[in-house]
Amino acid sequence: MNRTRSGVPATYVLIHGAAADSWCWHLLAAELRDRGHDVVTVDLPCADESAGLPEYADAVVEAVGARTNLVVVAHSLGGFTAPLVCDRAPVRLLVMLQAMVPLPGETPGQWWAATGYDQARSEQDRRDGRAEDDLVTLFVRDLPPELAAEALSRQKAQASTPFTQPWPLPAWPDVPTKFLLSSGDRFFPADFMRRVVRERLHITPDEVPGDHLPMLGHPTELADRLEEYWTQQQQPSESPSPQRHQAPL
């Protein structure tokens, strides 16, 4: 079996957010493959109005196939899909990257009001002095200009269907979970996300630099952190991880 500097190779399953596709992962995927890992990226059926959260999970599970040593990494809206994958596949580690954290029965459309997002964003916009149409500052302020322009130009149509569907799990999956917070994100402000993670996952997030797309701005640092998590996950432990969730949120 091939081994990397972090031991046994992982299979990283990268789940993008709304109005996006697998392109957003290409720099991080290259970093992980260069380190000897397998990488699965999926293009979710974002534009398909007949597709919702179950179909998003279907697409990921189908792409994974019979692979093992799964580390699922979910970004933004992908936070609603990733736990569904964990409920159906032998996932060893879930990493939420600046991702929405759902509660049982909550729809993605309800998440914004339930978490107090609008107030947090309004306060962030006032601090930034951001113009309403300034998408660069909102989403990709940390990226080089050409990469930022390409990222914005690649936005996809996003169907409304998944935003209307209740998250179906009765509790967080029984899978070790980490949260990586992007400290410079203006779309999901850092203080807001720290609170959401504390209240809903009962853990303290780790932090990486970057905007809403840290996988484009800081792929090497992000790969380093993912390898660190994977190395820790392979080490035997005599006591249960404090970041393994067994009770309803």
Q: What CATH number is attached to the domain comprising 49?
A: 3.40.50.1820
4-18, 38-52, 160-174: least confident range: 4-18
Q: Would strands 70-76 and 11-15 be described as parallel, antiparallel, or unpaired?
A: parallel
Q: Whats the size of the chain, residue-wise?
A: 249
Q: Who's near 53: CB < 8 A, 6+ residues apart?
A: 80, 81, 84, 108, 162, 165, 167, 168
Query: Does residue 239 sit within a domain?
Result: no
Nearest Cα neighbor of 210 from 241, 243, 186, 236 is 186
Nearest Cα neighbor of 102 from 169, 57, 185 is 169
Nearest Cα neighbor of 245 from 186, 168, 178, 181 is 178
Q: d(Cα 230, Cα 232) in Å, to the nearest integer?
A: 5
Question: How many domains are contained in the chain?
Answer: 1
Q: Over the range 177-210, which residues count as b (16 or more CB within 10 Å of their CB) and which as e? A: bbbbbbbbbbbbbbebbbebbeebbeeebebbeb
Query: Does residue 158 sit within a domain?
Result: yes
Residue identified by tokens 């179906």 is 168
3-state SS class at 230: helix
Strand partners, 94: 72, 177
Nearest Cα neighbor of 53 from 100, 112, 111, 108 is 108
Average pLDDT over residues 140-146: 97
Query: Does residue 97 sit within a domain?
Result: yes
With 70 as the cut, is the pLDDT of residue 249 above it? no
Query: Does residue 147 sit within a domain?
Result: yes
Domain ranges, residue 187: 11-234
Say if residues 201 and 245 touch (Cβ distance below 8 Å): yes
The pLDDT of residue 237: 57
The pLDDT of residue 6: 57
Query: Does residue 241 sit within a domain?
Result: no
With 90 as the cut, is the pLDDT of residue 102 above it? yes
The pLDDT of residue 1: 39
**Confidence tier at 240 by pLDDT (50, 70, 90):** very low
Q: Who's near 233: CB < 8 A, 6+ residues apart?
A: 71, 92, 93, 176
Q: How many CB atoms sit inside 10 A of residue 44's CB?
A: 26
The token pair at 7 is 């031991």
Query: Does residue 246 sit within a domain?
Result: no
Q: What average pLDDT does the structure give for the chain?
A: 93
- H or E element that contains 86: helix 78-86
Query: Does residue 247 sit within a domain?
Result: no
Q: Who's near 127: CB < 8 A, 6+ residues apart?
A: none
Query: Does residue 244 sit within a domain?
Result: no
